[in-house]
Amino acid sequence: MVLKKAKSELDIALRHIRVMKAVMENQPIGIFKLSELVNMPKHKVRYSLRILEQSGIIEPTQYGAVIRKDADIGKLKEDLAEIKKVVEEIERELEEL
């Protein structure tokens, strides 16, 4: 399927956002508690935390993950707006088929 990989990547991005939201609401928080809260396996939570850390959104502390004070959440919203535009263009192209 042409869009299968894109859907898979968006599913992973959604998982990262859910982990980020849980960290925001419960910081500092460790992997075990986070895994319970978001109802995901620990290895997936660990991966999401790694990606969020590499993206400059969270940072590890001795007490658990916390959102960085300088995290640019607005950039995520801008990126989503751009993705929406591309999806709308794909929809228009498919309607013409």
**pTM, two decimal places:** 0.86
Q: Give the integer Cα–Cα distance in Å for 29 and 66.
A: 7
DSSP the chain: -TTHHHHHHHHHHHHHHHHHHHHHHH-SB-HHHHHHHHT--HHHHHHHHHHHHHTTSEEEETTEEEE-TT--HHHHHHHHHHHHHHHHHHHHHHHT-
Architecture of 4-70 per CATH?
A: Orthogonal Bundle (1.10)
Q: State residue 51's pLDDT score.
A: 95
Residues of the chain with pLDDT under 50: none
